[in-house]
Structure 1
Amino acid sequence: MSNIKAIKVVILCIFLTCTFPYAARANYTSEEFIKSFFDIGFKEVNVALQESKKHFKKDIALPVQIPPIEFTHSFGRFSDLDGDVNDGFEIEYRHINKPKNHYMIWVKPVKYGLQIRKEHINQTYELHNGSKAIYSTEMARGFNLFIFEKNGWQYVLSISKTISNQVTPEILLEIANSVSL
């Protein structure tokens, strides 16, 4: 039951960030854009990362590579919800004037990670360290997901379907391989 709840939380996060009102609004200032994310709990990536490391008492390695598309802003958020099942760290990369340029990273302890059903897997990949990754176009409406595990963490790389021709599964595999501790 807790895995279903975790999946619902991830899908809700994707839905909220997809439908967030500022994402579709044109001609607003960078300050308004930033405030809109800070109002829903986001902050500077490094601040949220430090909060997450402190909470989990473990380092979190992030990819050193990002998708080859333009972003103007990045935001981080540490979620400390009911119990430990839904706790996690997330980063959003956005472009103030190009809502389709939307990329997210979620990091959770493996034991609380998403359980993936076979029917949601489009492709399976192997990372440089020999671990498996899956690519899904079925799990989240409007987003393609690349899910893998490293160093006791489950990572979910999420890219808007509208730019999936520019950010292919192979690019997401390269990003996954750039995570190291």
Structure 2
Amino acid sequence: MIKKHLIAVFIDTGSTPNTPQWKRIKKSTELTIALNPETEEVDYIADENPTTELSKYAPSIEQPLKMIKDEPDFEFFWDKFFNMPTGQDAKVQYLVVFMFDKVGDGATAKYKAWNGDAIVSCNELNAVDSEISFDLMFGGTIKKGTVAVTGTAPDYVPTFTEGFTDASEAGK
């Protein structure tokens, strides 16, 4: 069984391009990654009935985050909630690390990961449950690769490398 702490979602809280300052989303009570498959009906001439084809995915994460003052994840999303940014200002770089899926062995082992840009869409502040809820809507191409981590749980410091050295690492 894969445990929840082995899927780590990070956001870049920094403001310097190409130098991410990764902060892990730690104080959430849920983690569901929705792939949101998009399909289309194709009516091939050789078939009696239309066929459903899978055309693409539009992944997203819907998160409730506990409001704990001075926690880096709360402070980041509180700023987004309070200021209600739109357009480019609503974008953030994300990193999803699947820490149960190793590539390599020993001290050089890395984990499979996704990296890219997402839009932060704040949904609501629930004062009774002390939560801010938001969506991370992945945009564009998801870069697939590996992450090396330093530090200790849960405060890992990830370093993302795009791609794989061979097809077996990618799981193909």
TM-score (norm 2): 0.26
Structure with more strand by fraction: 2
Structure with more helix by fraction: 1
Q: Rg larger in 1 or in 2?
A: 2
